[in-house]
Amino acid sequence: MLHFTFVCLAVFLMTFFSILLFRPIAIRIDLVDSPDTRKLHQGDVPKVGGIAMLVGFLVGMLMLHDFLLSYEALFASMAILALLGFFDDFCDIRAGKKFLTQVFAATLMVIVGGACLNSLGNVLFIGNLSLGWLGIPFTIVAIVAGINAINMLDGVDGLMGSVSLIQFIYLAIIAFLAKDMADLKILMVIVSCLMGFLFFNSPLSSSKFKVFAGDMGTMLMGVLLMWFVIRLSQTPGAKPVVFLWIIAVPVFDLFNVVCRRLRQKKSPFGADREHLHHMLQNAGLKDKHVVLIIAGGAIVMGLIGIISLVLLIPEGVLFFFYVFILVAYLCRFGYLCRD
């Protein structure tokens, strides 16, 4: 335990000091996010959060070297998406190319890594719902959707990092309850990375040292999140629907954005300022209040999932309650986004 505590501290410090090291370099090579009509932050902000978190994560994994061989497919997918995000941070890559690369990385996770949603549990009150051969394409779609859902949260300082931190903590709790020490340790390494990053990305962070995660950071967090959601949801005795509650915030926002864009006959991969956090900003809330509200929602939704495990609430009840809340959310915030 003492050794693992040291690992988490080392990861936090490595992420922290990597940001301090890479920040002036990013400014020099123009790896910055500049304000425009869609991005309303002040001044050019270096996009080095993703690089720093990757460095911290790799250091942590090397210190936990006993587990490396079990995660080769994850590392390969991370490498692909890290490169994609890095180049996208320099020059915008077309949505189609990004989508195909994400599909390739997701396929690698499923086929080589075995991270596949084979069962959805007893969500329809008819017994275990097995996907069979449909599990592979279903999982690939879920992974790509999850990666983009996390990316869509990256519109307010501290929002993506805070929501991701909450989600990974809940996943760590489930890993602990399942006595899955290997996944638990890696999840806590990710938590340590996010804490180091949030020191420079929260709404309270000094503008002098502020950084963004960039597409590299959001893609890394997205692929890591989906890997552990899928893996942990398919362990014996797990309830897959619980994980829907843990990732409810990005899922709800993704559904709302995609439904609205399709209704407006626009590409679902486009960018705009009509996400939930933008609507809250337009309502006059400050960034710190936006983060508190949405992160608070993530805490509540995830807590429902965790409590359901303790209280042994039937999966079907959890699923239909989840769908009810999602529909209510779409009706409310979809209405606010109408032309």
| Interval 253-276: pLDDT, tens | 998 888 887 777 776 666 666 788
What pLDDT is stored for residue 258 in this prediction? Answer: 85
Quick one: pLDDT band at residue 39, thresholds 50, 70, 90?
A: low
Residue 284: pLDDT over 90 = no
Residue 313: pLDDT over 80 = yes
- pTM value is 0.92
- Residue pLDDT, tens place only, 190-223: 999 999 999 999 877 777 789 999 999 999 999 9
What pLDDT is stored for residue 339 in this prediction? Answer: 45
What pLDDT is stored for residue 42 in this prediction? Answer: 58
What pLDDT is stored for residue 267 in this prediction? Answer: 66
The 10 Å Cβ neighbour count of residue 270 is 10
What pLDDT is stored for residue 245 in this prediction? Answer: 97
- Residue pLDDT, tens place only, 91-131: 878 888 999 999 999 999 999 999 999 999 999 888 889 99
Most confident of 69-78, 164-173, 270-279: 164-173
Q: What is the mean pLDDT of the chain?
A: 88
What pLDDT is stored for residue 280 in this prediction? Answer: 86
Q: Is 157 left (phi over 0), alpha (psi -120 to 50) or beta?
A: beta
What pLDDT is stored for residue 1 in this prediction? Answer: 65
> Is 5 exposed, middle or buried (CB count within 10 Å of its CB: 0-12, 13-18, 19+)?
exposed
Q: Dihedral, CA atoms, 85, 91, 94, 95, nearest 10 degrees?
A: 40
Residue 239: pLDDT over 70 = yes
Residue 182: pLDDT over 80 = yes
- Residue pLDDT, tens place only, 123-162: 988 888 999 999 999 999 999 999 999 999 988 889 999 9
Quick one: pLDDT band at residue 70, thresholds 50, 70, 90?
A: confident
Residue 162 CA to residue 150 CA, distance in Å, equals 11
Task: For the chain, give every domain's residue range.
Answer: 2-111+125-336
pLDDT: which is higher, 9 or 207: 9
Section 33-44 average pLDDT: 61
What pLDDT is stored for residue 8 in this prediction? Answer: 94
Quick one: pLDDT band at residue 337, thresholds 50, 70, 90?
A: very low
What pLDDT is stored for residue 285 in this prediction? Answer: 87
Quick one: pLDDT band at residue 4, thresholds 50, 70, 90?
A: confident
What pLDDT is stored for residue 336 in this prediction? Answer: 45
What pLDDT is stored for residue 209 in this prediction? Answer: 84
What pLDDT is stored for residue 38 in this prediction? Answer: 52
The 10 Å Cβ neighbour count of residue 75 is 14
What pLDDT is stored for residue 334 in this prediction? Answer: 66
Strands 45-46 and 32-33: antiparallel
What pLDDT is stored for residue 96 in this prediction? Answer: 86
User: Among 149-158, 175-184, 278-287, 329-338, whose mean pLDDT is lowest?
Assistant: 329-338
What pLDDT is stored for residue 229 in this prediction? Answer: 97
Contact 68, 249 (CB under 8 A): no
